[in-house]
Chain A
Amino acid sequence: MQYTSLLQDKRLTILLSGEIDHHSARQTMEAVTSKIDVYLPRCCVLDFGGVSFMDSSGIAIVIHTLRAMEELGGELWLANVPPQPMKVLRAAGIEKIVRFGAERSPA
């Protein structure tokens, strides 16, 4: 798992790539949380465009990130989620609690 992040107008975009599983989840979760703690964004975008596989560990990462953003009074958006990770997120009903399509999110 590798990640690049961009900060623009209090909007933090984290580009996730590779395979998300239990083996890589803790490291990813810590990296995402520490970026949120440093930049205190109003909006965080997790961009799944480069994710080639994701199991239920990804659900935990999304929920953990959502809680971190809620503590800041901010928003979480998920962007560019490929079909396989999307099916896993849907199994947990994530689409009911998180917004998708960050390209249209408020800057």
Chain B
Amino acid sequence: MKQENETLVQFPSLSANEALARQIAAAFAAQMDPTLDELGDVKTAVSEAVTNAIVHAYPDRIGPVSLRLRRLPENVLEITVKDRGCGIPDLAKARQPMFTTGGAERSGMGFTIMESFMNSFTLRSAPDKGTTVRMRKKLTGRGSAE
């Protein structure tokens, strides 16, 4: 029986921390023996969630973003990205593919990618209280057949 495990990190909403968040998630997931493909999915989903918090949650200031990683039974990885920023006014609209309020370098595909690369995805947001994204993915594990 593999031990459950978790870690929690917090960092300011600076774009340089997007790569840091991906690397932390990949390092945590490594103990779950993911395939290269699964590791790519995890890094992509974390990058999208953290970038959303950095771009949208604090439009006029730098604020805290937290990343919580949990190893759950049956080799399920849970990722929670939370900010205490301005919130998302229209969740349904924000989740539409190609919708973005960001600049030219944004594609509006972040939520679509998080939903399709992970097994489950929940989004909660309240005006001026912040946004929480929670995602889960079952990692098959390269050694699972043994």
Contacts and interface: CB of A to CB of B under 8 A. Distances in A.
B86 interface: no
A26 interface: yes
Interface stretch (B57-65, B105-113, B134-142): B105-113
B86 to A, nearest CB: 18
- Most chain B CB within 10 A, of A19, A61, A63, is at A19
Contacts of B113: 55-56, 88, 91
Interface residues of A, number: 22
A88 B51 CA distance: 15
Given A22-B54, A23-B16, A57 B112 contact: no
Interface in B21-71: 22, 37, 40-41, 43-44, 47-48, 51, 54-55
B106 A55 contact: no
A45 interface: no
B5 interface: no
B19 A22 contact: no
Contacts of A69: none
B57 to A, nearest CB: 13
Q: How large is the interface on B (under 10, 10 to 19, 20 to 34, 35 or more residues)?
A: 20 to 34
A100 B107 CA distance: 20
A14 to B, nearest CB: 16
B120 interface: no
B16 A63 contact: no
Given A21-B47, A22-B54, A83-B37, 10 more contacts: A21-B19, A22-B55, A23-B15, A26-B105, A29-B105, A55-B48, A60-B106, A87-B41, A91-B112, A91-B117
Interface of B: 15-16, 18-19, 22, 37, 40-41, 43-44, 47-48, 51, 54-55, 97-98, 103-107, 109-110, 112-113, 116-117
The 6 closest A-B pairs by CB, nearest first: A84-B40, A59-B107, A23-B15, A55-B47, A25-B105, A60-B107
